[in-house]
């Protein structure tokens, strides 16, 4: 039986229902990166309802836009759905499974802060570094590190995979985004700061000058690839999730972003390049319903033509941290096994 209120999903359809017994609302709209639509009011059940074909995902993160009779509007999480991811509601569809590593024992290790001056961008940052109790010279560096840890559970993944013996021990470095829209938008200055200031200082701190595996999502993925193209000797592997590889034919909706043209120029150079002198193993993942899907397909194909050992996977989610978290295994796992073993 279908629930009276809240949200549900089956193999072919999704349904959203919001109770409004006193009919105080004049309109309800679905806000989501996966689906959209206007609710209709059912006077018999006194609920707002919206039915849609099920999109090709296992989860839907959403909010509701509410218009009230007093003229006010508000965007809220679904009050009739208790499942949340931060300030958004989550509808879980049949077929979704949480990653198994969330329930594995974790390897022991220590966190510390590392101060990193960045004269190339006239700035500085403090990175959080987790090191296992086992000696290692391997390093994974993550852009948007605090959010990758908090929402993408990258630290938990690291300790679980090392504890299970699925990957060799490695240091995990969480880089804060700083001036994110400037630094992560194909900035030559940031690429210099990362490769000439940050990574050498980390190497000295960790006692290794071995090239690193670098990870990033969205603009963070773009910045990882941009730095590797300019300074390939610093990188041993790339983990790129939902990269913002903007192209005019797909991404004109992003043209208001002040560094849009710089990103477009960089992306175009990579896509047109017949070859590249420093290819490394690369993994690209992207949500099946993302605006970024087409440009990630193109980028993965271009890297493959340039002899990067690359894999590309469309995951059944959207542009969000849970989707990125859920793709860590097996995709990051396979990359780390390839590079570190």
Ranges of each domain in the chain: 6-92, 100-340
Give the C-alpha separation, 290 to 241, whole Å.
Answer: 11
Is 157 within 8 Å of 241 (Cβ atoms)? no
Is the pLDDT at 1 greater than 60, yes or no?
no
Cα dihedral 255, 257, 261, 262, rounded to 10, equals: -160
- What is the mean predicted confidence (pLDDT) over 153-171? 98
- What is the mean predicted confidence (pLDDT) over 280-285? 98
Give the C-alpha separation, 328 to 113, whole Å.
Answer: 24
Pick left, alpha or beta for residue 89 (phi over 0 → left; psi -120 to 50 → alpha; otherwise beta).
beta
| pLDDT confidence band for 4 (50 / 70 / 90) | low
CATH code given to domain 6-92? 2.60.40.10
Domain 6-92 matches domain 100-340 at the CATH topology level:
no
Running DSSP on this structure, what letter comes out for residue 185?
A: T
Give the C-alpha separation, 101 to 158, whole Å.
Answer: 10
- What is the mean predicted confidence (pLDDT) over 96-124? 97
Give the C-alpha separation, 132 to 164, whole Å.
Answer: 13
| pLDDT confidence band for 41 (50 / 70 / 90) | very high
| pLDDT confidence band for 190 (50 / 70 / 90) | very high
**Which class in CATH covers the domain with range 100-340?**
alpha beta
Encode 292-329 in three state secondary structure: CHHHHHHHHHHHHHCCCCEEEEEECCCCCHHHHHHCHH
Is 324 within 8 Å of 303 (Cβ atoms)? no
- Predicted TM-score (pTM) of the model is 0.95
Give the C-alpha separation, 157 to 239, whole Å.
Answer: 14
3-state secondary structure of 90: strand
H/E stretch holding 31: strand 25-31
Strands 109-118 and 123-132, bridge-based pairing: antiparallel
Taking alpha carbons only, the member of 178, 125, 180, 128 closest to residue 149 is 128
Helix, strand, coil share (%) of the chain residues, nearest 5: 35, 30, 35
């Amino acid at each position: 039986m279908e629930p009276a209120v809240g949200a549900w999903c089956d193999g072919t359809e999704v349904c959203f229902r919001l109770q409004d017994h006193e009919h105080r609302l004049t309109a309800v709209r679905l806000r989501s990166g996966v689906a959209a639509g206007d609710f209709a009011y059912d006077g018999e059940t006194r609920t707002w309802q919206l039915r849609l074909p099920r999109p090709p995902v296992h989860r839907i993160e959403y909010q509701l836009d509410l218009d009230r009779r007093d003229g006010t509007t508000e965007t809220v999480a679904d009050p009739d759905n208790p499942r949340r991811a931060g300030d958004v509601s989550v509808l879980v569809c049949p077929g979704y499974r949480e990653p198994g590593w969330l329930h594995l024992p974790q390897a022991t290790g220590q966190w510390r802060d590392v101060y990193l001056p960045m004269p190339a961008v006239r700035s500085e940052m403090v990175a959080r570094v987790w090191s296992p109790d086992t000696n290692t010279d391997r390093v994974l560096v993550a852009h948007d590190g605090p959010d990758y840890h908090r929402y993408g559970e990258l630290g938990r993944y690291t300790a679980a995979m090392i504890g299970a013996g699925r990957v060799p021990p490695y240091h995990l470095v969480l880089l804060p985004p700083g001036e994110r829209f400037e630094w992560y938008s194909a900035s030559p200055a940031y690429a210099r700061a990362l490769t000439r200031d940050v990574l050498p200082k980390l190497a000295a701190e960790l006692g290794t000058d071995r090239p690193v595996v670098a990870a990033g999502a969205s603009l963070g993925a773009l910045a990882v690839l941009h730095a590797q193209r300019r300074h390939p000797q610093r990188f041993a592997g790339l983990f790129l999730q939902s990269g913002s590889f903007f192209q005019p034919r797909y991404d004109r909706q992003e043209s208001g972003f002040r560094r849009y043209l710089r990103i477009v120029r960089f992306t175009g150079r990579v896509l047109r390049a017949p070859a590249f002198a420093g290819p490394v193993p690369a993994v690209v993942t992207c949500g099946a319903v993302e605006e970024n899907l087409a440009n990630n397909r193109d980028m993965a194909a271009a890297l493959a033509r340039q002899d990067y050992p690359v894999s590309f996977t469309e995951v059944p989610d959207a542009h969000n941290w849970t989707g990125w978290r859920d793709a860590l295994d097996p995709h990051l796992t396979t990359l780390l096994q390839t590079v570190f073993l």
